[in-house]
Structures are given as C-alpha cells and as structure tokens.
Structure 1
Amino acid sequence: MNLRRLAAIVRKEFRQIRRDRLTLAMIAGIPLMQLVLFGYAINLDVRGLDAAVLDQANSARSREVVAEIGASQVLNLRYRLSTPQQIDELLRQGRISAALVLPEDFEARLERPDRAPLQLVVDGSDQTVQAAARQLSAYPLPGWPQRSGVEVVNFYNPERLAPINTVPGLVGVILTMTMVLFTAIALVRERERGNMEMLITTPLSPWELTLGKVLPFIGIGLIQVTVVLVAGYLLFQVPVRGSLLQLYLAALLFIIASLALGVFISTLAHSQFQAMQMAFFTFLPQILLSGFMFPFAGMPKPAQWLAELLPLTHFLRLARGIMLRQAGLLELWPEILALLVFAALMLSIAVTRVHKRLD
C-alpha cells in the first residue's frame, strides 16, 4: 500500500466531483430538500379536509354543533347542502373528502344514548381521510351521555383495507419511477454512444426525433399499468369500479407527462449517472407531496401549491376517482387539464433544447 499513490487517487476524485457541478449540488441539495419536506411540508396531523354540511335539523343546537366542529379545523366546511344526493355527487367528483350530516331528529337523538346524533360520511378511498374520521369519531357533544357523538360511514372502502387505498397510488408511483428514469437514461445513452450524431445527419425534425424516442416507452408504461392492476386484483381484490377504458386513457396521459419530464431531464444531463441523479431529484417531492404517503390537506399552502405542479398529484386523484369512486373523466376534468398542460409544456421545452443541440 503506497500512501502517496492512494492520496493522489483521492485528490483526483475530489477534483472530479468539484468539476461535476450537478453532483456537487446533489450532495447538499438532496439532504436539504428532505429536511425541508419532512420538517416543513409534511404534517401527519390531518387538517383542513374539504367537507360539506347537510343540516336537516336546522336548529339553533345543530348550528352550534356545526360551528364547534368547524372550529376544530379538521374539516373545512365549504359546502352547505340540501339533499343527500349532493353528498354522493361531490364525493365522486373528489370535490369533498367528507360530509357532516345532522338528521331531522337531531334534537331527539341528543336525549337518547342508543344512537349517535351526528353522521360523518367520508371518502374511504383515501387513508388520510380515514385518519381524520377517527379523530372526529371521538368528538364529544355537550350533554350527550356517550363519549362520542359521531357515527362514521365509510364510502368506497367500508372494510378500511389498506391495499384498496395503496394500489391505485402505486400505479402512479411505479410509472413515475420507471418512465422518467428509462427515458432520461435512454436518450443520454444515445449521446454517449455517438448514435445521436448519426440521427442528427438525417432529415428528422426535433419533434420527430423526440417523439420517436418516446413512443416505444408508452407501450412499456401501459404494460406496467396492466401488471399492477391484474396483480392488485388477484392478490388484494382491488376493484376497478369505473370505466377501464377511461382509466387507461388517464394512465396514457400520465405516461406522456412522465416521459416528457424524462426527455427534459435528458437535455440537461451530460451522462447517464447525472440523468439518474436528476430523475431521483424529481421522484422525492412527487412521492412525498402528492398525497400518496402523507395527508395532502395537512400540508402548508406553499407545499400544496408546489404539489399541484407535479403530475403524480393529479394522476393519484384520477386513479382513485376512477377505480374506487366510479368517477368519469369529465367529472375529473381539472386533473386531466393539469396533466395536459404539464405534458405540453415539458415536451415543448425539451424539443426546443433538442433543436439547440442540433444547431
């Protein structure tokens, strides 16, 4: 062991890292991003769930109870409803996560210990909503002889099975990890092997070159969707209650958005290793902020605004809406529009950068 030769190799590696600005940024950037996300953006306490109120009693006592529950900040009582049918419609569209129902005999129930005076209807397709329901299920009513005055009715997942919530989200998570990474690395590898120079000499336009590289991965993504759906049904009995065709259309749009992000990353990276680094840098905020792992409603507003810019956030709502709530694409049009805008923006920027490279 020659210490002088060893020291020379160590110095050489440090110089290499210092010249690689992306790696240097990742050394500090990834720990800082994790610190900010876990310390600031991620909050396990569920707060501010969009909710509706159906007060069929409409008495002074019922209004007082509604005000008290609203003051708890667990529910954001945005809608005042007049019929139970409106609850079904808003839940299916994903516009609310819960509905507080006060029946006509609310005052009479307060005098009887055999049945809870309040009913909380929750969207069981989201586990974080179930956590909020557990918080409110122990809510004590003044003068009510029992500890809890709230009866929880769980829509879409009455047995509260974890895979029912997890598998629709896993479709998006798996596509995010594979589509972005595969595309970014594949395009950078073409440049490293010199194949891109040969393609440049052909009459291909930047759009033809970009789309030609992306289209094969769309088929791979759809195969992955099929594998997850079939395995989820066979292993965990996760249903697809809505239209299977519409689910695949939503997945197709998300795949295109993810591939567009991968193409954009490939225009920034100079090596396959850099492409992997940058792809991982996009995975972390998407998985942590989309609502897949942590309560979306519990995040601060700036974190929610950032999450709205990420494609996984919108596909998660689409997948759960179609698979579990039997919603249609027209009912979930804001999520479709967000994915369309993201895909168009990323592809346009990527093609522009490819054109600059061709020059």
Structure 2
Amino acid sequence: MKRFSWARYWSVVKKEVIQIRRDRPSLAIALAMPLMMLFLFGYAVNTDVNDIKTVVWDQSASPYSRELAANLENTRVFQVVAHVGGYAQIEAMLDDGSADVALVIPPDYARKRDRGEPAAVQMLIDGSDPNIARTALSNAQLIVQNRAVTLVQERMEKEGMGRFEPSIELDARVLFNPNMESIVFNIPGLIGLIMQNVTMILTAFSLVREKERGTMEQLIVTPIRPLELLLGKITPYVCIGFFSFCLVLLLGSWWFGVPVKGSVPLLIALSVLFLVTTLTLGIFISTVSRTQLQAMQIAFAFILPSVLLSGFMFPRETMPLVIQWLGGIVPLTYFLEILRGIFLKGVDLSALWQDTLGMAVFFLLFLTVAMLRFRKKIE
C-alpha cells in the first residue's frame, strides 16, 4: 500500500490554487460575501424590541393620565404615535399596522387617584407578532406595578405610617451580557453561520467541477491517492476561509462592538478546526453530486436545517428531544457554543472540550466517508 506523499499532495494544492486564481468570480464571492452577509444579518437579525408604536385614548385628560402615558414613553420601549378619540380609531390603526399597542385611560382615572381608590387602565395589544406582544405586555405590567407601589408608599407616608418596605426583594445580576443586547448574542453566531455557508458551498463544487470540465480523467491516470487529492483540494480553501474569518471577526468586534472576552488564539485554533470540518463536508457533497446544480441543491438543503437546529435562531433547550438529537449531527451546533463561550463568557478549553471533540469527530467522519465514496475511475 502506497504511503502518503507530500509531493503529490503539494501538486494538488498548486493545481487548486491556479484554478482558484483563474476563477476570479468565485474568489470574489469567497472574500466579499462574508462581509456582505455580516452587515446584512448583523442589522436584520435583531430580537430587541424598542419604540413599539402606541396610540393613547386619554379620556381623563388630567396631569395624572398624561404622567402615565409619559412613564410608558420614557422607557423607550413604547413610542406614542397618536392620540385618538375612540375605539373605532384604535381598531383601524391596529388593523392597518400603524399601531401595535393602544392605551385606554378611563374618564374617572384622576378622580380615583385622588381618592386613593383602585384605578384600572386598559391596554390593547396586537398579538400577531408574539415577540412585540410579550415585550409590550411585560413592560406595561412592570410600569403599572411600579407606579402602584409608588402611590402606596406616598399614601402611607402622608398618613404617618412610615415608609413602605417590600417583604421580598430581588437582587438580580445579568452576567456576560449585562445590557441583554441581542446583537452581542447574534454576532458570534453570525460569524459561524457565514463561514459554514461560504466555505461549504465553495468546496461543494470542487470535484463536480472536475467532472464537468473533463479534467477528472487527468487525475485518474495519476498515482494520486484519494486522501492526497481531498486534502490538497481543501488546503487552499482553508487559507481563503481563514482570511475571510479574520475579516468578519475584526468587523464584528470593531464595527458592531462585540469584543472577544476569551482567548483569541484558542478562538482561531478552534475556528480552523471548524473550517476544515465544513470544507470536508463540502467535499463530501461533491462526491455524491454529479453536477454543480445537484451540489448546490444539496448544500442549500443542509444550510436551512443547520440554521434552525443549531441554536442560532432558537434555543435548543425548548425543542423536542428528537429535534435536539438532530441538531447534534450539525457541526455548526458545536461551533456556536464555542464562539459564544469564548466571545461572551471568556471560557477556556476545559469548558469547551466536548464541543471541540464533537467537531473533530465530524471532521474525521466526513473525511473518511468522502474518501470511501471517491473512486479514481469514471463511472
């Protein structure tokens, strides 16, 4: 059995580099697409809800009612866009989307406030977007509850009963992302998603391109072994992918202000492992495809489930157990844990060894299967 030859390996690498240099559109896509996708998704994928369009029907028209509306708007969660005079206008604005929330203050609101009686206000919420609806409801409840506690405290002080002290207090501290900004959570995930998509698509066409151009016959008559050919084809794309990774990493940290709290060398090392894993996956796709169209279809058929199952958009803990298992066969699942662990928590390899091992297993698995499927002969 022939041993691995570095000379044959480097010959494949040189051949692939020449081919990439001649295919300038693909090279431009490999370098420009990550930046474009980072800007696009970085601003588009945002789960923070601010400036919820709110209309107010103030039937009380008193300083108290204006104060309540101002309390909502001062949170910057609500934005008062109009004052209306009835339910018909509220319904029309909720129907056409010009308002998401309506605050209805009854005529007796000020009178009940003066008498110290319970005063009820109504909030109508458009529930077609659950994220906006939940944010509006929770924030409105907090504002009203806080205002109610303040009123009780003022009344007790006026009556000489002393200061109101709540029986239970919550001392909460938010770690790793104190401001709870979604962009801090999304940017590391976007880096992994972008690198997977770009590198996998590029290499998915590699062997298929050889078949369509008729150059596979030249490889068949050479003594190159499958491992030498596959690794030789992957190597140039590792360099391209690593350069693209450095670009999006710098852009994510500088432009979007998401610093790396952990070890940068560890992040780079594990990112290289992820790159070779996705590149090997692309090579595997090219071994099971007969045309570049088939390779593209298979690649995109893998991309969408990886977005949904990896935890990029939705928490995996809320998914059914079977779906969580399916997510476990997606390499991006492990890389997202690594990215967010190093970016946000600053953890080291002792906390990430399981995810690192998972990626290494997938790399060896994809490489082995691709080698077994590759045959140096024309079917």
TM range (shorter): 0.5 to 0.7
AA paired with 2:282? G
Residue 257 in structure 1 maps to residue 277 in structure 2? yes
AA paired with 1:348? T
Give the corresponding residue for 2:314: 294
Residues in 2 aligned to 1:148 and 1:235: alpha-carbon distance in whole angstroms? 42
Residues in 1 aligned to 2:229 and 2:300: alpha-carbon distance in whole angstroms? 25
SS of 2:207's partner is: helix
Q: Deviations over 1:127-157 (max 9, x none)?
A: x9xx9xx99xx99xxxx99799644321111
Q: Deviations over 1:135-189 (max 9, x none)?
A: 9xx99xxxx9979964432111111222211111011101111111100112211
Give the corresponding residue for 2:17: none
Quick check: which has more Rg, 1 or 2?
2
Give the corresponding residue for 1:175: 195
Per the TM alignment, residue 328 of structure 1 is displaced from its structure 2 partner at its CA by: 0.9
Structure 1 segment 93-104 matched on structure 2, within 5 A: none
Give the corresponding residue for 2:62: none
Give the corresponding residue for 2:329: 309
Per the TM alignment, residue 240 of structure 1 is displaced from its structure 2 partner at its CA by: 0.7
Over 3 Å counting, the alpha-carbon distance change for 1:231 and 1:147 in structure 2 is: farther
Over 3 Å counting, the alpha-carbon distance change for 1:299 and 1:150 in structure 2 is: farther
Residue 276 in structure 1 maps to residue 276 in structure 2? no
SS of 2:318's partner is: coil
AA paired with 1:173? L
Residue 215 in structure 1 maps to residue 235 in structure 2? yes
Match for 2:362 among 314, 331, 342?
342
Unaligned runs of 5+ in 1: 1-43, 45-127
Residue 206 in structure 1 maps to residue 247 in structure 2? no
Unaligned runs of 5+ in 2: 1-46, 48-130, 143-148, 153-165
CA contact (8 A) 2:206 2:283 kept: no
Q: Deviations over 1:298-326 (max 9, x none)?
A: 00000001111110000000011111111
Aligned pair count? Answer: 224
Residues in 2 aligned to 1:254 and 1:164: alpha-carbon distance in whole angstroms? 21
Give the corresponding residue for 2:265: 245
Residues in 1 aligned to 2:359 and 2:215: alpha-carbon distance in whole angstroms? 31
Give the corresponding residue for 1:100: none
TM score, norm. by length of structure 1: 0.58
Residues in 2 aligned to 1:280 and 1:147: alpha-carbon distance in whole angstroms? 56
AA paired with 2:358? A
Residue 319 in structure 1 maps to residue 339 in structure 2? yes
Which aligned segments of 4 or more residues in structure 1 are displaced greater than 4 angstroms? Answer: 144-151, 356-359
AA paired with 2:322? P
Residues in 2 aligned to 1:334 and 1:264: alpha-carbon distance in whole angstroms? 24
Per the TM alignment, residue 272 of structure 1 is displaced from its structure 2 partner at its CA by: 0.5
Residues in 2 aligned to 1:346 and 1:313: alpha-carbon distance in whole angstroms? 16
Q: Deviations over 1:255-275 (max 9, x none)?
A: 111111111110111110110
Structure 1 segment 105-254 matched on structure 2, within 5 A: 150-254=170-274
CA contact (8 A) 2:310 2:333 kept: yes
Give the corresponding residue for 1:69: none
Residues in 2 aligned to 1:166 and 1:187: alpha-carbon distance in whole angstroms? 34
Deviates more, 1:162-171 or 1:335-344: 162-171
Per the TM alignment, residue 237 of structure 1 is displaced from its structure 2 partner at its CA by: 1.0
RMSD across aligned positions (CA):
2.8
Over 3 Å counting, the alpha-carbon distance change for 1:296 and 1:147 in structure 2 is: farther
Residues in 2 aligned to 1:191 and 1:150: alpha-carbon distance in whole angstroms? 66
